[in-house]
Amino acid sequence: KIRAVWKPHQTDSTQLAVMVNRLRGLLIACLTLQLGAVQQHSVQTPTFEMITHFSDGRCRGGLNSVFFDLGSGLSLAECKEKCISNTSCKFVLHGETNGGCTSFSECKGHIIRDGLSTYEKVPSASSTSQSPATTQSAPGEP
């Protein structure tokens, strides 16, 4: 609420300077309040989890670049973390014997292969307001 009071005994320039100073003080107070509100409001970064998509093979199509683009000799947990941190990775293939880790942008079908498992990156239940996703664990996973 801004209130200006006319004081006829002051010259126009003096009264203008007083009003400018009052407005400046009000503006600073408003910006300080807004800044405080922005600092208190934290932006939640979405978090992801990996759920089993195929426990007996890999995706057909959607390969991001080449096989093992995320590495080889990786544990399942390391492979999943690599996919979570890669924005173009929506599905990840993990080889049980060689620890190969391959990212996919989409999954157009299923190619059955022993020793390969494919996981899908989905928003974690804690980062969405929707109902929690159903998760499946691969054999040997908690």
| pLDDT tens for the chain, residues 1 to 142 | 556 555 555 556 666 676 777 777 777 777 777 666 655 555 667 899 999 999 999 999 999 999 999 999 999 999 999 999 999 999 999 999 999 999 999 999 999 999 999 999 999 887 544 444 444 444 444 4
Taking the whole predicted model, whether its pTM rises above 0.85 is answered as no
Q: What's the CA gap between 120 and 62, in Å, rounded? A: 13
- What is the rounded (10 degree) CA torsion for 95, 98, 99, 101? -60
Q: What are phi and psi of 130, to 5 degrees?
A: -80, 175
Q: What are phi and psi of 118, to 5 degrees?
A: -120, 135
